[in-house]
Structure 1
Amino acid sequence: MRRSVGVVGLVVGALVGAPLSAEAGRGGLQRELDGVVGVAGVGAQVEVREGRRVWRGRSGVGEVGTGRAVPLAGRFRVGSVTKTFVATAVLQLVGEGRVGLEDPVLKWLPGVRAEGVTVRQLLDHTSGLYDVLNTLPRPPEAEFYANRWRTWTADELIARALVHPPTSKPGVVYKYSNTNYLLLGEIVEKATGVSYAEAVERRVIRPLRLRDTYFPGTSTAIQGPHAHGYVPGPDGPLIDYTKMNPSVFGAAGELISSTRDLDTFMTALLGGRLLSPELLRAMRTPGVEGGRYGLGLTWRTTTCGTTVYGNDGDALAYQTWVFSTADRRQRVALLLTPNFDVDSDDVVDAFLDKAFCG
């Protein structure tokens, strides 16, 4: 799901290939990453690219109390970056004429309380549908910890959301809602005859050979090397929340990946390997005038005036950012395991500005 709501040990950076710049080679980006972890994280890993040059860095620890370094090629829960993968599959179906952007949700999911809402409005968060996230318990509520191993179905989560009235009329305002992508996951299944996870795997993950990327379903562990993630415990101190049932995220945020795979995916997407030019333009068109969220893709402007495209995600114990310039020359993929002492947005924004602007 999207970004929302320390311990610093071993600090390590790794330089692969030619350095991005003399300043990066002297530790400019490493110092910035150390600053992110020093303020907001337990650990972090990052991949920064400029043309053919790449810098991979890490900071903090991969597991509290061990001094173990964060794996440079580690896997993690990417949260709402999942939405960009799902949106890509939906738009491929649009390109094949199997789904229409202006199709009413009720065409695909009769009986769902989404009157007047279209597929496009689900993709760009202008549906006005209530966000299921607001119905779920959060730390330090006791129910949050009790739900750790619970298996959720999309029907359950959608029902929890749609018992609440819409926050606006469809197509009028942008308001982020994870409910939109739970519904899109169901539409993909109706249109293809396979689960959204299988559809994305066939259409995106396998063709791009994303070896670290997969949908865990109800599997509680992260396969392969990975940093441990933490959430605030019921009494305050952080507790290890690496293992949990990710079905609560569903099509809105369950994916597991790595910085390398996220970079490969975003490069392929923005480079036109996954969508036609027309559909890629639609993906980069905001749902409302002056907005910064299109069809599963968002963008931001750095302090040096560069616009970068991608997405960010929050999967409770893991936070992710992946962004690229339109020409794909400069790209950043960052994982943070947060410490919840502060909101991480400001320090991560400063890191992204350093990476893109120097």
Structure 2
Amino acid sequence: MGTSIFRRRGWYAIVAAALLAAAGCGDSTVKPSTAAPLPAQVSDALTDLVRSGLPGAQAVISGPDGEHTVTAGAGDLTTAAPYAEHAHIRIGSITKTFVATVVLQLVAEGAVDLDAPIERYLPGVVQGNGNDGNRITVHQLLQHTSGLADFAPEVGEPKLPQQLDQTTDGKAYRDFTPVDLVRIAMSIPPQFEPGAQFRYTNTNYVLLGMLIEHITGRSLAAEISSRILEPLALHDTYIPLAGDTGLRDPHPHGYRNVDGKWVDATDMEAAWAGAAGAIISTGADVNRFFTALVTGKLLPAPQLAQMEQTMPMSSVTGMDYGLGLIRFQLPCGNETKQVWGHSGGIPGFATLSIATSKGTAATISVNTEQTNDQFSTALITIICAVA
């Protein structure tokens, strides 16, 4: 798909494509060999993925038996060096699950009401051109049912002049604040009536980041750090500051395919994306986060139950969206397996992270957001192997 910084194919359409393939092509497309050791199954899937034309890939699998890291292809096309162990990557929209977790912690503390209109917390921010913050609830923002327009629409979708065109490395937007991004969205009429349907929209989570800062009086980065990163010892996870265009070592290079050639896209301005997709992390850290989340270590039971109340995301059976959390029900041979997670696409990287209630988690990443059908097949194979 195109160049929007939060490409929809970078998070759920890649899996939707795989689910359709699984439904239409039979077990041989997605069923891993149950006789092969886990690392071999994962290695074969990643090798096939790189052979399909992508630069490199890494899977980090965590569970009761320890941690496995499997790589294929190149983390650096110039030197042919592979993805490094403990590689830092941009996780894009997986950031949204961190943000949703903080919001639900505030709900548990009585500081936020899910059913309250966003106008209560951010007066005067959501208004104009038919947008009305009195009619949009916090719950609707979390579940992408607000109807608000996206400040950065998908390539191929109708786009107005005031919407951001993601065709650069992001430096042009270094000075954009969340207020600026919301102002762009407010200049556009809503997509539908609040609560009428699901439609993934980055504007929702920019507003939720603003909500967190308004309620706590602290920055989004500080709240995520004190509430999630520090308690879980996620030392390799951070939100970059403005001007911090690189990645901490070790890291793979991110690439974009331009006119048939891979162009280095590692350095980019992403801090302005904030709550919608700015976090940088590692596979091991993201696995620890999702495992803690789905096993009840970050939220009280009532709030975790609210987060896991889902609605269908599209016409593809097996994918449902909760409050910043996706439930995947995947065809794995003769059975269906359920996992929870999220995925993200941002220039240079595509990532999917999942976890099960049994304490197993996996993060799969490739160092380009321009994925292909083989990426979908690899995701299904790896998830079926670990779930």
Q: Is the pair's TM-score, using the shorter chain for normalization, greater than 0.5?
A: yes
Q: Which amino acid aligns with 1:105?
A: I
- 1:4 equivalenced with 2:35 (yes/no): no
95-104 or 110-119, larger mean C-alpha shift: 110-119
Q: Which amino acid aligns with 2:187?
A: V
How far, CA to CA, are the matches of 1:293 and 1:205 in structure 2? 24
Q: Is the 8 A contact 2:255 2:348 kept in 1?
A: yes
Q: Which amino acid aligns with 1:98?
A: A
Instruction: Name the CA shift for 1:259/1:281 in 2 (closer, same or farther; >3 Å).
Output: same
Instruction: Name the CA shift for 1:145/1:273 in 2 (closer, same or farther; >3 Å).
Output: closer
Instruction: Tell me how large the CA RMSD over aligned residues is.
Output: 2.3
Q: Which residue of 103, 108, 113 corresponds with 1:100?
A: 113
Q: Which amino acid aligns with 2:380?
A: A
Q: Which residue of 78, 88, 100 corresponds with 1:75?
A: 88
| Matches for 1:11-22 after TM superposition, within 5 Å | none
Partner of 2:285: 261
How far, CA to CA, are the matches of 1:39 and 1:75 in structure 2? 24
Cα distance per residue 1:150-182 (max 9 Å; x no partner): 332111111112211111111110100000000
- 1:250 equivalenced with 2:255 (yes/no): no
Q: Is the 8 A contact 1:126 1:171 kept in 2?
A: yes
Q: Is the 8 A contact 1:40 1:341 kept in 2?
A: no
How far, CA to CA, are the matches of 1:224 and 1:60 in structure 2? 19
Partner of 1:315: 346
Q: Which residue of 197, 215, 227 corresponds with 2:252?
A: 227
Q: Is the 8 A contact 2:310 2:321 kept in 1?
A: yes
Q: Is the 8 A contact 1:33 1:351 kept in 2?
A: no
Cα distance per residue 1:72-117 (max 9 Å; x no partner): 2101110011000011001000100111101211111112224211
- 1:180 equivalenced with 2:204 (yes/no): yes
> What is the SS of the residue equivalent to 1:302?
strand
Q: Which residue of 129, 142, 152 corresponds with 1:133?
A: 152
The offset of 1:2, in angstroms, is: 5.6
How far, CA to CA, are the matches of 1:339 and 1:183 in structure 2? 25
Partner of 1:275: 299
Q: Which amino acid aligns with 1:254?
A: A
User: Aligned residues: percent identity?
Assistant: 35
- 1:58 equivalenced with 2:71 (yes/no): yes
- 1:39 equivalenced with 2:52 (yes/no): yes
How far, CA to CA, are the matches of 1:279 and 1:339 in structure 2? 32
Partner of 2:3: none
How far, CA to CA, are the matches of 2:197 and 2:211 in structure 1? 23
How far, CA to CA, are the matches of 2:173 and 2:245 in structure 1? 8
How far, CA to CA, are the matches of 1:146 and 1:53 in structure 2? 38
Aligned residues: 337
> What is the SS of the residue equivalent to 1:111?
coil
Q: Is the 8 A contact 1:148 1:244 kept in 2?
A: no
How far, CA to CA, are the matches of 1:25 and 1:352 in structure 2? 9
The offset of 1:255, in angstroms, is: 0.2
> What is the SS of the residue equivalent to 1:23?
coil
Q: Is the 8 A contact 1:173 1:288 kept in 2?
A: no
The offset of 1:266, in angstroms, is: 0.7
How far, CA to CA, are the matches of 1:292 and 1:167 in structure 2? 20
285-294 or 156-165, larger mean C-alpha shift: 285-294
How far, CA to CA, are the matches of 1:129 and 1:66 in structure 2? 45
Partner of 2:322: 294
Partner of 1:338: 368
Instruction: Name the CA shift for 1:24/1:51 in 2 (closer, same or farther; >3 Å).
Output: same
82-91 or 318-327, larger mean C-alpha shift: 318-327
29-38 or 170-179, larger mean C-alpha shift: 29-38
Q: Flag structure 1 segments of 5+ consecutive residues without an equivalent.
A: 6-20
Q: Is the 8 A contact 2:337 2:384 kept in 1?
A: no
Partner of 1:123: 142
Q: Is the 8 A contact 2:331 2:337 kept in 1?
A: yes
Cα distance per residue 1:170-212 (max 9 Å; x no partner): 1110100000000000000000001111111111011111010
The offset of 1:40, in angstroms, is: 5.0
TM-score, normalised via structure 2 length = 0.81
